[in-house]
Amino acid sequence: MRLSAYPIVNLKEVPADAEVVSHKLMLRAGLIRRLSAGLYSWMPIGLRVLRKVEAIVREEMNRAGALEILMPTIQPAELWQESGRWEEYGPELLRITDRHERAYVYGPTHEEVVTDIARRELRSYRQLPVNFYQIQLKFRDEIRPRFGVMRSREFIMKDAYSFHADEASLDEGYRRMHDAYQRIFTRCGLSFRAVHADSGSIGGTGSQEFHVLAASGEDAIVFSDGDDYAANLELAPALPPPGGRPAASAPLTEVATPKAHTIADLVTQLGVPASQCVKTLIVDGAAGDLVALVIRGDHELNAIKAQKLPGVANPLKMASPDRIRTELGAEVGSIGPVGLACRLVVDHAAAALADFVSGANKPGFHVTGCNWGRDLPEPVTADLRNVVEGDPSPTGNGVLGIARGIEVGHIFKLGRKYSAAMKAEVADENSQPLTVYMGCYGIGITRVVAAAIEQNHDEAGIIWPDPIAPFKVLLVPMNWLKSERVREVAERLYRELDAAGLEPLLDDRDARPGVKFADGELYGIPHRIVIGERGLDAGVLEYRHRRATDNEEAPLEGLTEFLRERIRQSSTGPA
C-alpha cells in the first residue's frame, strides 16, 4: 500500500473514554472507528491485522481437522427456549422481533444453532467425532462495553463445537483443540498461558482459558515456576502451611487500640506484622444466620471459595453493620473470634497462627496472645483466601507467581448439556439412541488484536509481532518530491518487495522525515528501510527493527534477501 493513497488521518487526541493503551493506539493509528457504544468499524490497516489473525486461526483449525461452516447471526427464539437459555441468559442477550412478531436473538454464541445442525445431520455414531467451526460476528449487550474492541458489544469470534459418541472421544477432541490453541497463539507471536478455569482441582481439564499476558489484563492468573500449572486467581487452591502451628507462648491480653479500624492501623499502633493479625469478616449464612470468616491480616478473602462453603449464602454477602451490632454486639473494625457468638470458619493460614492479634469485640480494643485450642476452640478450617506470590504450588512443584492476563480463548467440555436438552442423538452400534457429548471452543478474534497491542507497544506506538503486522516493511524515501533517484529506487524496491510477498508500505507522502518516522512507529511496522541520496551513493540503505534503537546498513542490491532473514529472525518467537 502507498500512504499517499490512504485517506485516514491519525488522531492527535483520543476521546477520554479510551482508558487502555490498545484502545488509544487503535484510535490514534486509525485502525478502528467508533460507531456507537461497543460498536466499531475496522478501517483498512486494522482490518489487515484482523485478517491475519483470522488466517492463522483458520489454518490451525483446519489442520486440527475441524470443518468450517457459517451460521446466521440471527437465531430463532425457539431454539433458545428449547435449551433453557431464553430464560437463563439475562440482559446480555439481544432479543429482536420481526415483522410477523416472531422472536429472535442476535447470537451471543452458537451452541443452540450448531446443536440443531447436529441433530439433523448426524444419524450414526459412525459420523462421529466431528468438529464444526465458524468465524462469525457475535453480539453481547455487555453492561459496560469498554476498552474498545477488547470488550465490545459486537465482536468476531471463532467458535468451534465438537460432537462425540463417548467421553473418551470428547477428551481427545478437547486435547486437540488445546494443542491447536497453543499453536495459534504461538504463531500470532504472543506470550500467553492456558489456565484452569472450571475448578482449581489439579489436572482438572473441564475448561481452560487462554490468556495473553499483559499488565493491563482484567484477570489475575496464577502460575507455578515448577511445572505448567496455571489457574485463575479465583480458583487456585491455597494449601495449608506446612509444619503445623507453633506452641502458644504469650498470655491473652486486652490492649487499648484507639482509632485502630484496619490491619494497617494495628500494624503501626502495636508494631506487629499484618501476618500475625487476623481479620474477621461477617457474612450472611444460607439459613438466615451469620457466619464469621477468619483470615490472616495480610491475606485477601476469596469470595468464590467462601460462597461455595456449606451454610454460606451464595452469592457471598457481607452482613450489614446493623445486624452485626444487634446480633453479635460488635462493631465492624473491632470484631474478633474470641467469644464471638456465631459460627466460625477459619482459613488454613489463620488457623496455623499462635499468639495472634485480633479484635476484642469491644470498640477501641484488640487482644494479643490469642491461641486456638486455648482461648478459643480448635477451629473449623477451610481454604478461604486468594493465593499470594510465593505460596507453594498446589501441584507440589515450585512456588506460585501472579500475572495479569487478557482472556483471548476458552475451551470447554460441555458434556450433554445441550444435546440432552435439544435431543441431539445418533444411533449407537446396537442401533439404540445415544445422546452425543459436546465440547465448545472460542477465540475472540477482535480481542486478540487489542491484546497483542497491550502486550507489544512503547511510548511511540504499536510494535506488531511480525506474523500479524499489517505490513512487514515500511519504506521511507527521503526527499520524495525533490530526488528523482530516490523516487525511482523506492518504486523499484516497493515492486520487488511486494512481488516477494514482504508486504511493503511505501510512505510516498510529501511529508517531513520526522512525521514519516513517527507514523511508522505509531503503526508498529516491524521492519523499516530508509532510502536517502547519500546512502545510494554508497549502495546502501538504512535498516531498523521497530524494537531496536540503532540503525544498521542494509544492501541496496539483495534487499529482499536481507529482509527475509530479518523477518525470519524476528518471527522465531515472542519478544
> Is residue 152 within the footprint of ligand ATP (CB under 6 A)?
yes
Binding mask 239-278 for ligand ATP (x = CB under 6 A): ----------------------------------------
Of 119 and 410, CB closest to ligand ATP: 410
Binding mask 447-476 for ligand ATP (x = CB under 6 A): x-----------------------------
- Do 314 and 286 form a contact (C-beta atoms < 8 A)? yes
The cell for 306 is: 467462601
> Is residue 22 within the footprint of ligand ATP (CB under 6 A)?
no
Q: Which stretch binds ligand ATP (CB under 6 A): 184-192, 347-355, 407-415, 483-491?
A: 407-415
How far apart are the C-alpha atoms of 206 and 72, rounded to whole Å? 28
How far apart are the C-alpha atoms of 78 and 96, rounded to whole Å? 13
Of 107 and 444, CB closest to ligand ATP: 444
> Is residue 446 within the footprint of ligand ATP (CB under 6 A)?
yes
Binding mask 81-120 for ligand ATP (x = CB under 6 A): ----------------------------x-----------
How far apart are the C-alpha atoms of 292 and 340, rounded to whole Å? 9
How far apart are the C-alpha atoms of 562 and 365, rounded to whole Å? 74
Q: Which stretch binds ligand ATP (CB under 6 A): 17-25, 53-61, 150-158, 183-191?
A: 150-158
Q: How far is the CB of 24 from ligand ATP (least distance, A)?
A: 17
Q: What phi and psi values does residue 329 have, to the nearest 5 degrees? A: 65, 30
Among 132, 139, 155, 543, binds ligand ATP (CB under 6 A): 155
Of 361 and 446, CB closest to ligand ATP: 446
Of 181 and 480, CB closest to ligand ATP: 181
> Is residue 285 within the footprint of ligand ATP (CB under 6 A)?
no
Of 189 and 336, CB closest to ligand ATP: 189
How far CA 235 is from CA of 5, 208, 386, 439, in Å, comes to 52, 12, 8, 21
- E strands present in 416-499: 425-427, 433-435, 437-444, 457-458, 461-462, 473-477
Of 185 and 562, CB closest to ligand ATP: 185
Of 400, 138, 398, 375, which is closest to residue 250 (Cα–Cα)?
375
The cell for 111 is: 451452541
Of 140 and 544, CB closest to ligand ATP: 140
Q: Which stretch binds ligand ATP (CB under 6 A): 9-17, 403-411, 474-482, 537-545?
A: 403-411
Q: Which stretch binds ligand ATP (CB under 6 A): 124-132, 291-299, 408-416, 424-432?
A: 408-416
Binding mask 59-78 for ligand ATP (x = CB under 6 A): --------------------
> Is residue 30 within the footprint of ligand ATP (CB under 6 A)?
no
Tell me the site size for ligand ATP, rule CB under 6 A. Answer: 15
Q: How far is the CB of 75 from ligand ATP (least distance, A)?
A: 16
Task: Give residue 429's region: left, alpha or beta (phi > 0; psi -120 to 50).
Answer: alpha
> What is the full DSSP assignment across 44-55?
HHHHHHHHHHHH
Long-range contacts of 34-42 (CB under 8 A, 24+ apart): 34/148, 37/145, 37/153, 38/142, 38/145, 38/151, 38/152, 38/153, 38/154, 39/152, 39/153, 39/154, 40/148, 40/149, 40/152, 40/154
Among 46, 129, 409, 467, binds ligand ATP (CB under 6 A): 409
Q: What is the DSSP letter of 146?
A: B
SS (H, E, C) 347-373: EHHHHCCCCEEEECCCCCEEEEEECEC
How far apart are the C-alpha atoms of 350 and 380, rounded to whole Å? 11
Residues 410-439 that bind ligand ATP (CB under 6 A): 410
Among 157, 195, 231, 295, binds ligand ATP (CB under 6 A): 157
> Is residue 140 within the footprint of ligand ATP (CB under 6 A)?
yes
> Is residue 151 within the footprint of ligand ATP (CB under 6 A)?
yes
Of 151 and 516, CB closest to ligand ATP: 151
SS (H, E, C) 61-113: HHHCCCEECCCCCEEEHHHHHHHCHHHHCHHHCEEEECCCCCEEEECCCCHHH
Among 59, 82, 141, 142, binds ligand ATP (CB under 6 A): 142
How many other C-beta atoms can be found within 10 angstroms of the C-beta atom of residue 462?
25
Among 297, 444, 470, 532, binds ligand ATP (CB under 6 A): 444
Q: How far apart are the first and last CA of the chain?
A: 27
> Is residue 385 within the footprint of ligand ATP (CB under 6 A)?
no
Q: How far is the CB of 440 from ligand ATP (least distance, A)?
A: 8
CB neighbour burial string for 503-540, b if at least 16 within 10 angstroms, e if fewer: bbbbbbbeeeeeebbebbbbbbbbbbbbbbeebbeeeb
How far apart are the C-alpha atoms of 43 and 32, rounded to whole Å? 5
Q: What is the DSSP letter of 488?
A: H
Residues 516-575 that bind ligand ATP (CB under 6 A): none
Of 219 and 425, CB closest to ligand ATP: 219
Of 64 and 476, CB closest to ligand ATP: 64
The cell for 181 is: 490453541
Of 54 and 521, CB closest to ligand ATP: 54
> Is residue 408 within the footprint of ligand ATP (CB under 6 A)?
yes
Q: How far is the CB of 185 from ligand ATP (least distance, A)?
A: 11
> Is residue 405 within the footprint of ligand ATP (CB under 6 A)?
no
How far apart are the C-alpha atoms of 513 and 490, rounded to whole Å? 15
How far apart are the C-alpha atoms of 134 and 23, rounded to whole Å? 26
Of 156 and 478, CB closest to ligand ATP: 156
CA 574 centroid distance within chain: 18
Q: How far is the CB of 212 from ligand ATP (least distance, A)?
A: 9
> 534 CB contacts (<8 Å, ≥6 apart)?
none
Residues that bind ligand ATP (CB under 6 A): 109, 140, 142, 151-152, 155, 157, 407-410, 442, 444, 446-447
